[in-house]
């Protein structure tokens, strides 16, 4: 039987603070996303579709988002119903369907970006400009690839596209 040692109290406290901040950020984003009428998962899928040069296949999206294909189908169904994406046939293989962002989807993305910025601004409001600069430097260091197993697996993709939209 392997006995795991508890992290020292400062590491444990820091981990708890990071988790609390993450939850707070998710709540703030949800608050701003609700009026847009889109879920965080739909938002993530829409951002992912927008980053492909050519419309991706459903399998590409499932692999990138690290979810089962059925989950992608459900998300695409909802986004298609809202007019944000459309299914299009692959020009070289009629059996393959690709997912294309629409003009309405692009407009939704702009609204989502504004909502995400507002949520982040709510979280960062208590910080001075200098404190924000320090935080940015610290986050850049923490998010740099280290070769750890979490980096290689993508860490569930939580930070994918973080700075690209």
Q: pLDDT digit string (tens) for 76-103?
A: 999 999 999 999 999 899 889 999 999 9
Helix (H) or strand (E) run with residue 87 in it: strand 85-90
User: Is the pLDDT at 68 greater than 90, yes or no?
Assistant: yes
Half-sphere exposure of 110 (CA within 13 A, CB side): 5
Q: What is the DSSP string of 6-58?
A: PPPHHHHHHHHHHHHHHHHHHHHHHHHHGGGT--HHHHHHHHHHHH-SSPPBH
Locate the domains of the chain by residue range: 24-139
In whole angstroms, give the CA distance from residue 66 to residue 57. Answer: 14
For 24-139, CATH number?
A: 1.10.10.10
Residue pair 97/90 in contact by the 8 Å Cβ criterion: yes
Residue pair 29/142 in contact by the 8 Å Cβ criterion: no
How many Cβ atoms are within 10 Å of 5's Cβ, its own excluded?
Answer: 5
Q: Which of 23-27, 45-49, 151-155 has the lowest mean pLDDT?
A: 151-155
What is the torsion angle, in degrees rounded to the nearest 10, for the CA atoms of residue 159, residue 160, residue 164 and residue 165?
-80
How many Cβ atoms are within 10 Å of 52's Cβ, its own excluded?
Answer: 16
Q: pLDDT digit string (tens) for 105-160?
A: 999 999 999 988 988 999 999 999 999 999 999 999 988 888 776 665 554 443 43
Tell me, what DSSP letter sits at residue 82? Answer: T
Q: What is the DSSP string of 89-150?
A: EETTEEEEEEEEE-HHHHHHHHHHHHHHHHHHHHHHTTS-HHHHHHHHHHHHHHHS----HH
Q: Evaluate if pTM is beyond 0.85.
A: no
């Amino acid at each position: 039987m392997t006995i795991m040692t508890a992290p020292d109290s400062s590491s444990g406290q820091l981990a708890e603070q990071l988790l609390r901040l993450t939850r707070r950020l998710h709540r703030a984003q949800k608050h701003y996303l609700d009026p847009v009428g889109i879920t965080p998962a739909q938002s993530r899928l829409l951002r992912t579709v927008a980053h492909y040069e050519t419309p991706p296949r459903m399998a590409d999206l499932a692999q990138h988002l690290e979810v089962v294909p059925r989950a992608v189908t459900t998300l695409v169904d909802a986004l298609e119903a809202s007019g944000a994406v459309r299914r299009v046939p692959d020009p070289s293989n009629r059996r393959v369907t690709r997912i294309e962002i629409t003009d309405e989807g692009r407009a939704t993305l702009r609204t989502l970006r504004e909502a995400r910025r507002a949520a982040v601004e709510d979280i960062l409001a208590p910080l001075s400009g200098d404190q924000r600069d320090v935080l940015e430097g610290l986050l850049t260091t923490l998010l740099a690839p280290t070769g750890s197993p979490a980096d290689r697996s993508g860490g569930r993709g939580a930070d994918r596209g973080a700075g690209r939209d």
